[in-house]
Amino acid sequence: MSDFAISRRGVLAGSTFLLASTALPAALRAQTPTNGGRLIAAADSEPRNLNPAIIASNGVFFVASKIVEPLAEASFTGKDGLEPRLATSWEGSADGLTVTFKLREGVTWHDGKPFTSADVAFSALQVWKPLQNLGRVVFKDLEAVDTPDDHTAIFRFARPTPFQLIRNALPALTSVVPKHLYEVSEIADNPANTAPVGTGPFKFAEHRPGEYYRLEKYDAYWGEDQPRLDEIIYRVLPDRAAAAGALEAEEIHLAAFSAVPLADLERISKVPGIGVISKGYETLTYQLVVEINHRRKELADRKVRQAIAHAIDKEFVVKTIFLGYATASTGPVPRNDVQFYSSDVPTYAFDVAKANALLDEAGYKRGEGGTRFALKLLPAPYFNETKQFGDYLRQALAEIGIDAELVNNDAAAHQKAVYTDHTFDLAIAPPVFRGDPAISTTILVQSGIPDGVPFSNQGGYANPELDALIAKAAETLDPDQRIALYVDFQKMVAEDLPLINVAEWGFITVARSSVKEVSNNPRWAVSNWADTWIEG
């Protein structure tokens, strides 16, 4: 462990060098990136399978996005919020049946083989479409990928597919894996899943379970003068309380994904040499959602669901549970999404009296002891905040005469109970909004999804009108019409409450101020860090 501590001697040597170079103007020196150095980041989970083309999840991206690159990355300033990576341009046809990608030239895989359109075709047809959790939905109508030359890939769809959706999906869904390594054996148990080979700025070096992942600089990276860093170490620190201590002790440089507990941020922001950054998660908005099992006759009644929505004090949730690092939700699309968000939806103000009146109206009078009915509440175990919200919701429901029994499970048991066995009445989930409702939001309310698909509608909710709307939006090509349909979608969900959106939040990065170019794109923690550098 101590191998990777920033040694005092190293820091001293660095500062002596700085003293010696005071001839340079201070401002200029601060702007000039230096090459070299090792970045040590905290990792709170330790995925074994590091193939982002199969498992498009933030836990995998956090490490793998430095090794395996997508066709395009999210950007604050680029056109349509994108900047090129392996593709240099993309264009959709008017009929929605083809999308043409021009690919970057002169890119090589970490084993030296050239990157070509064949790799993209292979990844799309053999990995994203059949195997990837999100790609299954977005690329379901992808029929073929034509490769007229080594640097052009033309995606052909069997049915019109909105180009807007494909574009929004590029950063998260299009990690390209090398065909020559994956075509030789079964994709699911290919050795490159645990020791990935990509085109990114860093090569996979080693993984010591329980200790660290190590990535090394890839010298032949296509980006000019990139990467800046020589090495990235992900130190496995599953204990959230430990990350703050490690930052202060200068054992790590960076803790992303709110590895430092929210309650500790105020204190640590005052520590010299440490900065708290809430930028860089704009396209990774998590939503705090109450999932409802509509098979329960009480919960199938819209009035009861409205009563529950009125019983939740969203301001309290934002201020006390998230300490202000969240926003109250109005519906299934987060406020920070500029393309699709609509505030024109029915809202549910915190009003206990109204909630009680609604329940009385629905015919659930208070019985003995003031209880109307009892139900089971399953908070997802992934975040402190989801668990705390479970404690809060139980109290909020007690105020309106609903006796909620909390059931805590580990991650695997929770997924089985909610998404396979449906043994819940209310559950608390943190789904992710990925920049387009069709990627991972509509499946939360759509009917007809097989049992066992995690983060989907497993509450037995079926609304033919809403299903029709979702289906129509999925094949509408005109971006403005598509947006209009999703505005209706938001209104309908907020009105009928198949689930209750409570709050939405991005994560917090805490980094030592010597680390530069942090949070410079809207999904920075899971981008490639090619331009990140360390001072001194």
Partner 1 sequence: MIALRRFLRTPEAVAGALILAALLAMALSAPWFFPRDPQSIAGPALLRPFQDWTLPLGTDRLGRDVMAGLFHGARASLAVGLAAAAGAILIGAVVGTLAGFAGGLLDEILMRITDAFQTVPGFLLALAFVSVAGPSLATVIVAITLGAWTGPARIARAEVLSIRERDYVAGARVIGMHPLEIAFREILPNALPPVLALSSVIVAAAILTEAALSFLGLGDPNRVTWGGMIAEGRAVLRSAPYLSIIPGVALVLTVLGVYLAGEGLVETSATRRMNA
Q: Which residues bind partner 1 (CB under 8 A)?
A: 240-241, 244, 261, 263-264, 266-267, 320-321, 381, 384, 387-388, 390-392, 394-395, 398, 405-410
Collapse the DSSP code of 133 into the 3-class scheme (helix H, G, I; strand E, B; otherwise coil) and give the result: coil
Which residue, 168, 142, 170, 146, is CA-closest to 71?
A: 170
Nearest to 299 by CA among 402, 381, 201, 368: 402
Residue 208's contacts (CB-CB under 8 Å, 6 or more residues apart) are: none
Helix axes 240-248, 262-269, angle to 10 degrees: 10
What's the 3-state SS for 419-459? HHCCCCCEEEECCEECCCHHHHCHHHCCCCCCCCCCCCCCC
- Structural contact between residues 407 and 377, judged by C-beta atoms closer than 8 angstroms: yes
Residue closer to partner 1, measured from CB, 267 or 295: 267
Give the shortest CB-27-to-partner 1 separation in angstroms: 35
Pair of tokens at residue 473 = 């939006």
Amino acid at 114: P
272, burial (CB in 10 Å: exposed 0-12, middle 13-18, buried 19+): exposed
Structure tokens at 394: 């139980």
Q: How far is the CB of 414 from partner 1 (least distance, A)?
A: 12
Which one, 12 or 411, has the nearer CB to partner 1?
411
* Tokens encoding 108: 């090589």
Of 321 and 326, the one with the shorter C-beta distance to partner 1 is 321
335/394 with CB nearer partner 1: 394
Q: Which is nearer to partner 1, 362 or 407 (CB)?
A: 407
Shorter beta-carbon distance to partner 1: residue 134 or 321: 321
CB of 439 to partner 1, least distance (A): 32
Tell me how far apart the alpha carbons of residues 136 and 487 are, in angstroms, rounded to a whole number.
Answer: 24
Sheet strand arrangement including 98-103: 87-92, 98-103, 152-157, 142-149
**CB count, 10 Å around CB of 351?**
15
Nearer to partner 1, 88 or 409 (CB): 409
Cβ proximity to partner 1: between 59 and 261 the closer is 261
Q: Is the separation of the CB atoms in 71 and 119 below 8 Å?
A: no
Task: Name the minimum Å distance from CB 180 to partner 1.
Answer: 44
Min separation Cβ 293 and partner 1, Å: 18
CA distances 39 to 2, 35, 156, 210, Å, are: 14, 12, 41, 19
Whole-number Å distance between alpha carbons of 170 and 72: 6
Measured from the CB of residue 384, what is the shortest distance to partner 1 in angstroms?
Answer: 6
Peptide bond into 379 cis (omega under 30): no
Please choose, from the candidates 279, 227, 247, the residue with its C-alpha nearest in 3D space to the C-alpha of residue 33: 227
Spatial contact of 106 and 222, defined as CB atoms under 8 Å apart? yes
Q: From the CB of 503, what's the least distance to partner 1, in Å?
A: 15
> For residue 325, how many other CB atoms are within 10 A of its CB?
17
Smallest separation, CB 246 to partner 1 (Å): 13
Q: Nearer Cβ to partner 1, position 328 or 378?
A: 378
In the bound state with partner 1, the residue whose beta carbon lies nearer, of 35 and 408, is 408
CB of 244 to partner 1, least distance (A): 7
In whole angstroms, the minimum distance from the beta carbon of 186 to partner 1 comes to: 32
CB 275, min distance to partner 1, A: 18
Q: How far is CA 429 from the centre of its chain?
A: 14
C-beta of 230 vs 248, nearer to partner 1: 248
Choice between 335 and 387, CB closer to partner 1: 387
φ and ψ of 353, to 5 deg: -60, -45
CB of 397 vs partner 1, minimal distance in Å: 11
Report d(CA 287, CA 385) in Å as an integer. Answer: 11
Residue owning tokens 């990355």: 73
Cβ pair 256, 526 in contact under 8 A? no
Q: Where are the alpha helices (DSSP H) in 128-270?
A: 129-131, 135-138, 163-173, 179-182, 240-248, 262-269
